[in-house]
Amino acid sequence: MATVFIRKLENSYITPLKNCFKITELKKIHAHIVKLSLSQSNFLITKMIDSCDNIGHIGYATSLFQQLTHPNIFSYNAIIRTYTHNRHHSLAISFFIQMLAHSTKSVFPDKFTFPFVIKSCAGIMCGSLGMKVHGLVFKFGVDSGNITGNALIDMYTKCGDLTNACKVFEEMDHRDVISWNSLIFGYVRMGQMKSARELFDKMPVRTIVSWTSMVTGYARTGCYAEALGVFREMQMVGIDPDEISIIAVLPACAQLGVLEVGKWIHMYADKNRFLQKSGICNALVEMYAKCGCIDEAWSLFDQLVEKDVISWSTMIGGLANHGKGYAAIQLFEEMRKVRVAPNEITFLGVLLACSHAGLWDEGLKYFDVMRGDYGIEPEIEHYGCLVDLLGRSGCLGQALDTILKMPIKPDSRIWNSLLSSCRIHRNLEIAIIAMQQLMELEPEESGNYVLLANIYAELGMWEDVSNIRKVIRNKRIKKTPGSSSIEVNNVVQEFVSADDSKPFSLEVFRILEELALHQTRTNDLMELVEEDADTSSL
């Protein structure tokens, strides 16, 4: 009778604990439980730990668990689950180890323990520990159903172990959509889009997560046309884009310059009230800026109620890329006034703005501000902007000295920037130094040889020009053909130099010939007009 009474008393606290959303309320319930001498009730302590999980109060959950003299599997599962949910992964694993060390016949990990322990292994990116936990699943004879199997796939993929992830996937008796999505996302994370696509095509059921993973993967690997194609395919099968899929596809629209698709996404986001989210607005601002619509980008930025550091950085970068250096710097100063702390991306835009606008002194000042005022250590991109800034201003010796003193190994883009500046200022001595580095970093890049040849030509050193051409011929270096793309009727058409494989190539070449002929006739007419004007003046 006493046991039945205690059980009823314990059950009476289930509803109050379920509706408990404040730590003060939880402490009051705890006081009642202690007063009734139920502080060692694993059932109630487990429920209270779950309440701590809901309100995110980890410290109180720990004290509750530590008061138990004989915690059972449910209490252990509750504390491990709470730590995992709140991203205290190392502590979750330590409690799991404690459970194993103090285990009795009645306290062994079960099918509810392992998914959270495995998730914590993924959280600390420790694949070796995850493998040991995987072994314990078999040791304790736990049914590795979908929940545990999916957790293992997720853990292995996050740790970069696709071999074991695939093995778990293949050995699963019943795979749900989460199993498929987890493995696809693993391939996407590793940039293996061919394998991801093959798995995606085999999926029996696809969700918005499946489609978004593919769009994200293609966009991240620079396959922008494929990203846009998957996005359109998703709509054709009747799945409406959500906020995440929109943010995933907008960079592809920006890179391809498909403005009409970007505008449609803008209208769609507005209709579905997605514009309240700064993430989508920031992506739209970037899309408009990269598609050449800086006024539209500014208008959308101006409408933002809450501007985060990404909003400011995106707009500053957009203005910089459009040659509006003064406007970019003015916006940066406004950002500082409203006390939004800039990050490394912000300063990249500012330095780019100074470089493009010829604001040499301001660029050097902001490079020092970045380190001195905000403690941001320059990355290779910042040094690239600084070298470009110094090179354009004619301070080639200082630019070279900056490269040689960089704490990061300079890449080909930095040396190429210096070489380009040498051509502007006809500095052959430093150009040769830059070229020597480029020949080691990218010996097959034709553009570098052409740049040096142009410097020799501008200095009238024709024999050296001829030698450069011989090097290009002897090494059989091929010039990368130029290309451009335009959007016509929502289809992106790419044009490559000397490519006549497209069905409408003859028509394009015919129109180009007509335009060239028209230009020639226009030039001839202008010459006649100028001759008549000269005759009249006589």
SS3 56: coil
Q: Is the pLDDT of residue 356 over 90?
A: no
The mean pLDDT of the chain is 86
Question: Lowest-pLDDT range, 241-245, 277-281, 326-330, 428-432?
Answer: 277-281
Burial letters 12-48, b for 16+ CB under 10 A, else e: ebeeebeebeeeeebeebbeebeeeebeebbbbbbbb
Report yes or no on 78 lying in a domain. no
Q: How many CB atoms lie within 10 A of CB 269?
A: 22
Give the range of the structural domain holding residue 355, as residue numbers without chain letter: 307-373
Per cent of the chain over pLDDT 70 is: 87
Q: Which residues pair with 485 in a beta bridge?
A: 494
Task: Determine if residue 346 is left, alpha or beta; phi over 0 gives left, psi from -120 to 50 gives alpha, anything else beta.
Answer: alpha
Q: What is the pLDDT of residue 488?
A: 56
**Domain assignment present for 252:** yes
Q: How, if at all, do strands 491-496 and 483-488 pair? A: antiparallel
Q: What is the reported pLDDT for 263? A: 94
Q: CB atoms < 10 A from the CB of 221, how many?
A: 15
pLDDT-derived band of residue 538, with 50, 70 and 90 as boundaries? very low
The token pair at 504 is: 């409408």
DSSP-derived letter for residue 495 is: E
- Closest residue by Cα to residue 228 from 242, 215, 241, 237: 215
Specify the range with the lowest mean pLDDT, choosing from 43-52, 104-113, 176-185, 422-431: 104-113
Average pLDDT over residues 243-247: 93
Tell me which range, 3-7, 262-266, 502-506, is most confidently predicted by mean pLDDT: 262-266
Query: Chain centroid to CA 54: how far?
Result: 30
Burial class (CB in 10 A: 0-12, 13-18, 19+), 109: buried
Looking at the structure, tell me whether residues 355 and 281 fall in a common domain: no
pLDDT of residue 306: 87
Q: What percent of the chain clears pLDDT 90, i.e. is strictly above it?
A: 55
Contact 48, 17 (CB under 8 A): yes
**For residue 537, what pLDDT is reported?**
47
Q: State whether 468 and 382 are in the same domain.
A: yes
Residue 533 has pLDDT above 70, yes or no: no
Q: Are residues 422 and 472 in the same domain?
A: yes
Mean pLDDT of 51-61: 85
Where does a domain end: 330, 346, 373?
Answer: 373
Pair 341, 355 in one domain: yes
Query: How far apart, in Å, are the Cα atoms of 538 and each of 199, 265, 505, 532?
Result: 81, 63, 50, 10
Question: Residue 532 pLDDT more than 60?
Answer: no
Taking only the tens place, the pLDDT of each residue in 298-333 is 999 998 888 999 999 999 999 999 989 999 999 999
Same domain (yes/no): 367, 384: no
pLDDT in tens, 435-451: 999 999 988 888 888 88
How would residue 498 be classed by pLDDT, with cut points 50, 70 and 90? Answer: low
- Looking at residue 330, its pLDDT comes to 94
- How many CB atoms are closer than 10 A to CB 7? 12
Residue 451, domain member (yes or no): yes
Residues 427 and 511 in one domain: no
Nearest CA to 312 out of 339, 290, 291 is that of: 339
Residues 360 and 312 in one domain: yes
Q: Give per-residue pLDDT as tens, 166-209.
A: 999 998 888 899 999 999 999 999 999 999 999 999 999 999 99
- 467 and 383: one domain? yes
The answer to whether 214 and 196 are in contact (CB under 8 A) is yes
Distance CA(275)–CA(95), nearest Å, equals 43
pLDDT digits (tens, 9 = 90+) for 282-297: 999 999 999 999 999 9
The number of folded domains in the chain is 4
pLDDT of residue 1: 42
Q: Which pLDDT value is given to residue 217?
A: 95
Over residues 371-381, the pLDDT tens digits come to 999 999 999 99
Q: What is the pLDDT of residue 58?
A: 86
- Residues 265, 313 within the same domain: no
